[in-house]
Amino acid sequence: MASISSLGIGSGLDLNGLLDQLESAEREQLAPLETQKASYKAEISAYGKLESALSSFQDAAAKLNDDSLYRSLSSAVTGDSATATATSEAQAGTYDVSVTNLARSQSIATAGFAEDETFGGEMTLGVGGEAPLSFTIEAGSSLEDVRDTINGQDAGVTASIVNDGSGTPYRLVLSSDETGTEAAIESMSLTDSGVADDRFAFDINNLAPAEGETGYDPAYAGVRQTVAAENAELTVNGIGITSQSNTVEGAIQGVTLELAEEGDSTVKVELNNRALREAVTDFVDAYNEYRSTADDLTSFDQESGAAGELLGDSTMRSVESRMRSALSGGTPGGGMLSDIGISLELDGTLSLDDEALDDVILNDRQALSGFFAGTGDSDGMSDVLDGTLGGLLDDGGTLDNATSGLESNIERLDERYASMEDGIANTVSRYRSQFSQLDSMIANMNQTSTYLTQQFDSLNAQLGQ
């Protein structure tokens, strides 16, 4: 008799459905492992959130451990003629800045050329007091080719083409890349077989009169200076200063001036109270963000029964205890948060008294520096927190060990899960074999029953019954 390839064909029973139900019942053994694994993953994620919040607080505390923060200067400008940026080398003070001339870059322009005119020969270009640069303009070059060749020399000028709308409209314009007289274009010429093309002749010592100047000739076919190179001129507290650029360094020690227009401005350089105030505010905000994260991770809703991932977690309790101890214990030198206007509230958050902080910044800046950055051999609050947070966040620290332990637990669960899945597969395979035997047996019994029924019917017919 042929074997039965699909369960239930021989018996007419839904053996496949029954087998699926038995397999589902067996797989229920895996549910506790899946639940436990999900719980471990949720804890790892929670530790990640906690680590992120603590790292942000560590960065905020470290910023207050930088001595330069307490010595940093800022600049404020009254007037529109200049802006100012102060460095750590600046000296506090007030400076009157009067700008009488802005630096400009020079421009020169050729006369107009027709669209189809071509050029070629050796070009020389002298810029900024350097030895003239020589390069080749290939024979048959268009004006665009001349422009591109000049721009490829890195000569300190930029060439462009202007269409002036005349009958021969295309004019080659060269502009100095830098401002000031030291970056001026001094000479330009183009020769072909030793014959000069005067339309490219330019000599800063022999300038053609510009429009509006005496001797101006509108028919002149050579190169004119259209914009003269000029230096910036200004006074600082009455002292005259000349600069090649509109960015002026050194006129005021440690201050960079950016000249914008002619006129008067006042530059005030002072201690950067704003940066220091923001650093302390960031410190308080970062700690409170950590506290908010910790509260979320340890919360419990009585109505819904929902609990934070780290509610009752021993690692979380250790973190909270060590953070409270670090902040409430003050510094080795005896300084307390309250000395600088910060209070540790009953709910674990920090609150900042802005007026008290401003008073310390303005009148006792050294005390603020000593509290956070320390004095001499005595550590400040930033050092205390760095030690505490390092023990929590560093490799091999509290959070790293807790996370590693959970990851090891997940690995062991995965091994148990795989082993149980193999066992379930073997059990289901055994059920399938047994059902197949049952299906064959019932099929055989059904065939025997049919045969006997046919025999009895035949016998009854012979007996006339």
Give the pairing type, strands 73-78 and 247-252: unpaired
Could you give the percent of the chain with pLDDT greater than 90?
57
Band of the pLDDT at 177, cuts 50, 70, 90? Answer: very high
440, pLDDT greater than 80? no
- pLDDT score recorded for residue 465: 58
Q: Is the pLDDT of residue 154 over 80?
A: yes
pLDDT at 10: 54
Q: What is the predicted pLDDT for the residue at 176? A: 97
Predicted confidence at residue 4, as pLDDT, reads 42
- What the block records as the tokens of 126 is 């002298």
**Considering the chain, what is the average pLDDT of its residues?**
89
Within 13 Å and on the Cβ side, how many CA atoms surround 372?
Answer: 25
Percent of the chain at pLDDT exceeding 70: 96
Quick one: pLDDT band at residue 227, thresholds 50, 70, 90? very high
- Does residue 335 sit in helix, strand or coil? coil
6 pLDDT band, cuts 50/70/90, is low
| Contact status, residue 269 vs residue 90, Cβ threshold 8 Å | yes
Q: What is the pLDDT of residue 1?
A: 38
* pTM, entire model: 0.64
In whole angstroms, give the CA distance from residue 463 to residue 445. 27
What are 27's strand-pairing partners? none
Answer whether residue 450 shows pLDDT above 80: no
Averaged pLDDT, 68-76 = 86
**Cα–Cα distance, 132 to 126 (Å, whole number):** 4
The count of other CB atoms within 10 Å of the CB of residue 396 is 8
pLDDT value at residue 11:
59
Per-residue model confidence (pLDDT) at position 461: 76
pLDDT tens, position by position, 181-203 = 999 999 999 998 788 888 999 99
8 phi and psi, to 5 degrees?
95, -15
